[in-house]
Amino acid sequence: MAPASAKAQAARETGPSALDLANMTASGSYLAARHAGQQRDALAAAAYYRAALRRDPKNVELLDRAFLSLLVGGDINEAVKLADRVVASDKSDRVARLVMGVHDVKVGHFATARRNLAQSVRGPITDLTATLLTAWSQSGAGDAKAAVATIDRLSGPDWYGIFKDLHAGLILDSAGQKKDAGKRLERAYKQDPTALRVVEAYGGWLSRNRTQQEALEVFEAFDKVLPRHPLIVEEMAKVKAGEKLPLLVTGPQAGAAEALYGLGASLGRRGGEDLGLVYLQLALHLSPNHSLALLSLADLYESLKKPDMAIKVYERIPANSPLYRNASIQMAADLDALDRGEDAQKRLEEIVKADPKDLEAMLALGNLERGHKKFAECGEAYTKAIDLIGKPDKSNWTVFYFRGICFERSKQWPKAEADLKKALELSPDQPHVLNYLGYSWIDQGVNLDEGMAMIKKAVAQRPDDGYIVDSLGWAYFRLGNYDEATKELERAIGLKPEDPTINDHLGDAYWRVGRKLEATFQWAHARDLKPDPDELPKILQKLQHGLPEEATSQANSTEKPAAKQGNGG
- Which structural domains are found in the chain, ordered by start? 159-250 (1.25.40.10), 458-568 (1.25.40.10)
Cβ-Cβ contacts under 8 Å for 259 (sequence gap 6 or more)? 129, 132, 133, 136, 163, 167
The stretch 89-98 carries a mean pLDDT of 92
Cβ-Cβ contacts under 8 Å for 548 (sequence gap 6 or more)? 556
Q: What is the dihedral of CA 402, 411, 432, 428, to 10 degrees?
A: -80
Cβ-Cβ contacts under 8 Å for 196 (sequence gap 6 or more)? 222, 226, 229, 231, 232, 292
Has residue 5 got a pLDDT over 60?
no
Whether 44 and 71 have beta carbons less than 8 Å apart is answered as no
For 273, counting Cβ atoms within 10 Å of its Cβ (0-12 exposed, 13-18 middle, 19+ buried), the class is: middle
**Other Cβ atoms closer than 10 A to 78:** 18
Alpha helices in 290-430 (DSSP H): 291-303, 307-314, 324-337, 341-354, 359-371, 375-389, 397-409, 413-426
Rounded CA-CA distance 489/530 in Å is 19
pLDDT at 271: 77
**Other Cβ atoms closer than 10 A to 389:** 16
**Other Cβ atoms closer than 10 A to 274:** 16
Cβ-Cβ contacts under 8 Å for 166 (sequence gap 6 or more)? 184, 185, 188, 195, 197, 198, 201, 262
The stretch 378-397 carries a mean pLDDT of 96
Whether 101 and 130 have beta carbons less than 8 Å apart is answered as yes
Whether 500 and 526 have beta carbons less than 8 Å apart is answered as yes
Give me the half-sphere count of Cα atoms (radius 13 Å) on the Cβ side of residue 541: 8
**Other Cβ atoms closer than 10 A to 54:** 14
- Percent over 90 (pLDDT), the chain: 82
Backbone angles phi, psi at 220, to 5 degrees: -65, -35
Rounded CA-CA distance 463/279 in Å is 39
Cβ burial 321-342 (10 Å sphere, 16+ → b, else e): bebebbbbbbbbbbbbbeebbe
Phi-psi region of 15 (alpha: psi -120 to 50; beta: other; left: phi over 0): left
For 446, counting Cβ atoms within 10 Å of its Cβ (0-12 exposed, 13-18 middle, 19+ buried), the class is: exposed
For 560, counting Cβ atoms within 10 Å of its Cβ (0-12 exposed, 13-18 middle, 19+ buried), the class is: buried
Rounded CA-CA distance 156/162 in Å is 12
- Read off the amino acid at residue 212: Q
Give me the half-sphere count of Cα atoms (radius 13 Å) on the Cβ side of residue 147: 31
Q: What is the dihedral of CA 192, 198, 200, 205, to 10 degrees?
A: -110
CA dist 263 → 258, 259, 297 (Å): 9, 6, 12
For 520, counting Cβ atoms within 10 Å of its Cβ (0-12 exposed, 13-18 middle, 19+ buried), the class is: middle
pLDDT at 23: 56
Rounded CA-CA distance 33/25 in Å is 12
Which residue, 181, 319, 344, is CA-closest to 255? 181
- Three-state SS annotation for 25-93: CHHHHHHHHHHHHHCCCHHHHHHHHHHHHHHCCCCHHHHHHHHHHHHHHCCHHHHHHHHHHHHHHCCCC
Residue 555 parent element (H or E): helix 550-556
- Read off the amino acid at residue 143: D
**Other Cβ atoms closer than 10 A to 166:** 29
Has residue 12 got a pLDDT over 60?
no
pLDDT at 563: 47
**pLDDT tens-digit series, residues 22-81:** 556 767 788 888 888 888 888 888 888 898 898 899 999 999 999 999 999 999 999 999
**Other Cβ atoms closer than 10 A to 397:** 20
Rounded CA-CA distance 360/200 in Å is 22
For 241, counting Cβ atoms within 10 Å of its Cβ (0-12 exposed, 13-18 middle, 19+ buried), the class is: exposed
Q: What is the dihedral of CA 268, 269, 270, 273, to 10 degrees?
A: 20
CA dist 356 → 290, 351, 383 (Å): 28, 8, 13
Has residue 21 got a pLDDT over 80?
no
pLDDT at 281: 97
The stretch 174-188 carries a mean pLDDT of 97
Cβ-Cβ contacts under 8 Å for 20 (sequence gap 6 or more)? 11
Please give the DSSP secondary-structure letter assigned to residue 561: P
**pLDDT tens-digit series, residues 491-513:** 999 999 999 999 999 999 999 99
pLDDT at 15: 63
Confidence of residue 558 (pLDDT cuts 50, 70, 90): very low
The stretch 461-467 carries a mean pLDDT of 96
The stretch 374-395 carries a mean pLDDT of 96
Phi-psi region of 192 (alpha: psi -120 to 50; beta: other; left: phi over 0): beta
Window from 9-23, 216-230, 412-426, 450-464 with minimum mean pLDDT: 9-23
Length of the chain: 569
The stretch 76-98 carries a mean pLDDT of 94
**pLDDT tens-digit series, residues 255-276:** 999 999 999 999 888 778 889 9
Rounded CA-CA distance 343/337 in Å is 11
